[in-house]
Amino acid sequence: MKDTINMRHNAYYSTKLYKNTKWVPFNILGQTRYTNEEMKNLCINHRNEIYRFLKSPYEVIQYIQLCDFEDCEDINYENRNGNQWQINCHGIEAINLNKGNCTALSALFHFILSKHFTVKSLCFIAHLGIGHVINYIEYNSKIYFFDMYTQILPYINFVAPEDGKLASLSKSKYITGICIETTTIDDFIFLFKRYNILKKRHYTFLTYYTEVCPPVIITENGKGVVVVFPTNTCIQIHEKSDFVDINFLEFS
């Protein structure tokens, strides 16, 4: 057995969602080499070095689901010159703890698969100060988006099964819970905004290429939030909301 609660190891489909945007199975970048029982044994016998055995997004998701990776919203802060910086963990730390939030899972995904693919991260920040991080892989002139946070309990219960049917997707809660194929990042942003239009949130979208999400300070300013990154942080802003201000400050 290689299927999981949502993934199908032999799934084959390409379902159009919108212009230049398709729903494809997670195995598009490689099928799993392990049965679920074999993956569980890896979790037991090689927990802290399991990254050595994983080579595809399917296998990473199979691992975090079968090894019972736990959601943990604990946030670490570090005070520097009176500024409370949010410090995000490394991928290996998330593996060793077997728990974490979206930034931890993004770092885990990057840590494991950057040896095999070009892995980057997309962060979207709402005007309410709510932020979220997912990963994407650039491969053969296409971009594939993966949200590891939706692949763990309890969120996985609200993700569409890999049957490629729009009816199944319409019943799901998270559009990022599927593997989305696009040609540009802007294509994904357009789809995400369209899907979440009823939530009436104003998002800022930015990308970064490092394993770990940069340190950040998020504060309210009356009309929305101010997001502060360390000076010289390498980020690219793709779309900016009027309700989210981006600033930079020395991290010292």
Separation between Cα atoms, residue 183 and residue 129, nearest integer Å? 29
- Looking at the DSSP assignment, which residues form a beta bridge with residue 179? 24
- Looking at the DSSP assignment, which residues form a beta bridge with residue 208? 121, 235
Q: Cβ of 14: how many Cβ atoms within 10 Å?
A: 11
Q: Cβ of 32: how many Cβ atoms within 10 Å?
A: 25
Q: How far apart are the first and last CA of the chain?
A: 51
Quickly count helices (H) and strands (E) in the chain.
6, 15
Q: Which helix (H) or strand (E) holds 134?
A: strand 131-139
Q: What are the pLDDT tens digits along the chain (252 aa)?
A: 999 999 999 999 999 999 899 999 999 999 999 999 999 999 999 999 999 999 999 999 999 999 999 999 878 999 998 999 999 999 999 999 999 999 999 999 999 999 999 999 999 998 777 899 999 999 999 999 999 999 999 999 999 999 999 999 999 999 999 999 999 999 999 999 998 887 778 899 999 999 999 999 999 888 889 999 999 999 999 999 999 999 999 997
48, 108 Cβ separation under 8 angstroms? no
> Measured in whole angstroms, how far is the alpha carbon of residue 238 from the centre of its chain?
17
Residue 89 burial class via C-beta count within 10 angstroms: exposed 0-12, middle 13-18, buried 19 and up: buried
Per domain, the residue ranges of the chain are: 15-249
Separation between Cα atoms, residue 48 and residue 55, nearest integer Å? 16
- The backbone torsions φ and ψ at residue 64, rounded to the nearest 5 degrees and listed phi first, read -70, -25
Q: Give the torsion sign (CA, 109, 110, 112, 113).
A: positive
Separation between Cα atoms, residue 104 and residue 90, nearest integer Å? 7
